[in-house]
Amino acid sequence: MRAPAAHPAAASVAGVAGVTGVAAWGAGGEADVAAPHAPAPFLYMPAINQRFAIWQGDITTLEVDAITNTTDETLMECDTVSERILQGAGPELKEEIITRALECRTGEATATSGFALRCRHIIHTVCPKYVPKYHTAAETALHNCYKNVLHTAASVGARSLALCVINTPRRNFPPDVAAHIALRTIRRYLEQSSRPQVVVIAASTAGDAALYTALAPLYFPRSAHAPPAHEPAHNERRIRIIHNPHSHNSDSAEDDTSLCDEEAAVEAAALFARAAAPDTQRLLPHSAPHEPRRRTIVDTDQYERLLRRARSEDLSEISGIGCLYQSGVDRLGRPVVVFIGKWFPIGDIDLDKALLYLIKLLDPIVRGDYVIAYFHTLASSANHPPFSWLKEVYTVLPYKYKKNLKAFYIVHPTFWTKMMTWWFTTFMAPAIKAKVHTLPGVEFLYSVMARDQLEVPAFVTEYDMTINGLHYFQPDTNNT
């Protein structure tokens, strides 16, 4: 491993997995001086220390089997670390991400080739956003980031792994909290597994390197002189009973959060609900950490099977209804998908075939940006699909459907529609919540799409004239 600018705490990890140029923790000299932390929560184990190092510099310059990229769900986020990785790997990395429609959920990890970098693999992970009200969920999700990166590195046969500081400033994580989570997760993992043989924390700034160097003696004691103690309790081990998060408390500063913060909080809460605490996970079979990866593969396989069925089965009874179709493009050239709520007879159609027709129509469209216009005009309860079916549809459809959807317009919504939309996007589909817009009339669509590009049934325009007046259907002077 080449280190262009090693931190003072780093010397070399020699003879372990062929790595040189980075210091083993407690490998001699200054590293053997105990830090002012007593008592140490973990036993002094030289064999473990020899497998751990802290290094400062550009992670893309390291000659290791695998490096870590902290990114977003699309794997295309450009912060200080990920931008260097994307540039260093070359255009082949972006091409693989796009052509394979790769994705990664918060707390999970996925691997790609290193391409033009010196490493063989890049392991991508998504850090959660830290919201103080839901700090327990965020801390557990960050623990899962490090844990899944380590397990993924072992699964691809990496002998050496360079871990970047996964929590980026835009995620709002307190640096010391994140550092404790990282060091504790690495130490526990190294006690249980022999791969990777070497784990290096690659800090990109002097501040991060100093922080990890100061805290590391708690988890990697440098001498046997400090007696071991019970590991202190940490926040992610507690189950808190909190007030209703939807209540409005004017005295609480924490409640003043943006829309993005609220969505991140809901997503983090959902993650925490389905994730076991770290100590519980240690008691599970070793295959448990791979569940998120297996689930992603299963979801992809299920969608591919449905797509094959959609292309082979006779869906004329659904297509003949005419409730779902493409109607031109908007002013940015994005395809517009129209859904007519009144023409969706729930009691008279096979919902399984309705899902197949949805996939058959949208699969070629969602490979790029697109928008949906849903007309709730004169729809009744007989046209409302059950929530169980909506949940199934949202779960089955892969990430590209959510990522490339740029706007979801609901025209002529009722109070019931608005309430159900809020509930669904808050608790079942938070990824698209900010993309949903309710519009009282058809004319509002003409600001984003030309009049001649929008084809809707006559009853929609007649109803719109009844409630909004004739001015909605004057010549479109913006249609250029």
The pTM assigned to this predicted structure is 0.49
Q: Are residues 202 and 149 in the same domain?
A: yes
Phi and psi (nearest 5°) for 39? -80, 155
Q: What is the span of the domain harbouring residue 149? A: 29-222+259-280
Confidence band of 387 (pLDDT split at 50, 70, 90): confident
Residue 235 lies in a domain: no
pLDDT(181) > 90 = yes
Residue 453 lies in a domain: yes
Q: Are residues 442 and 381 in the same domain?
A: yes
Confidence band of 30 (pLDDT split at 50, 70, 90): very low
pLDDT of residue 107: 92
Residue type for position 86 = L
Residue 377 lies in a domain: yes
- Give Cα 161 to chain centroid, integer Å: 22
Residue 392 lies in a domain: yes
Q: Are residues 266 and 356 in the same domain?
A: no
**pLDDT tens digits, residue range 336-374?**
999 999 999 888 888 999 999 999 999 999 999 999 999
The answer to whether residues 163 and 146 touch, using CB atoms and an 8 Å cutoff, is: yes
Residue 13 lies in a domain: no
Residue type for position 409 = Y
CATH number assigned to the domain comprising residue 67 = 3.40.220.10
* E strand map for 229-345: 324-329, 335-340
Q: Are residues 272 and 340 in the same domain?
A: no
pLDDT(477) > 80 = no
CATH number assigned to the domain comprising residue 363 = 3.40.525.10
Q: Are residues 90 and 192 in the same domain?
A: yes
pLDDT(218) > 80 = yes
Q: Are residues 272 and 136 in the same domain?
A: yes
pLDDT of residue 58: 94
Q: Are residues 209 and 309 in the same domain?
A: no
Q: Are residues 271 and 352 in the same domain?
A: no
What is the C-alpha separation between 333 and 306, in angstroms, rounded? Answer: 29
Smallest Cα–Cα separation from 242: which of 272, 279, 275, 220? 272
Q: Are residues 135 and 203 in the same domain?
A: yes
Residue 211 lies in a domain: yes
Q: Are residues 268 and 339 in the same domain?
A: no
Residue 64 lies in a domain: yes
Q: Are residues 103 and 149 in the same domain?
A: yes
Mean pLDDT of 104-113: 93
Q: Which residues contact 404 (CB under 8 A, 6 or more apart)?
A: 366, 367, 368, 369, 370
Confidence band of 16 (pLDDT split at 50, 70, 90): very low
Provide the domain count of the chain: 2
Residue 78 lies in a domain: yes
**pLDDT tens digits, residue range 396-418?**
898 889 999 999 999 999 988 88
What is the C-alpha separation between 135 and 264, in angstroms, rounded? Answer: 11
Q: Are residues 188 and 268 in the same domain?
A: yes
pLDDT of residue 142: 95
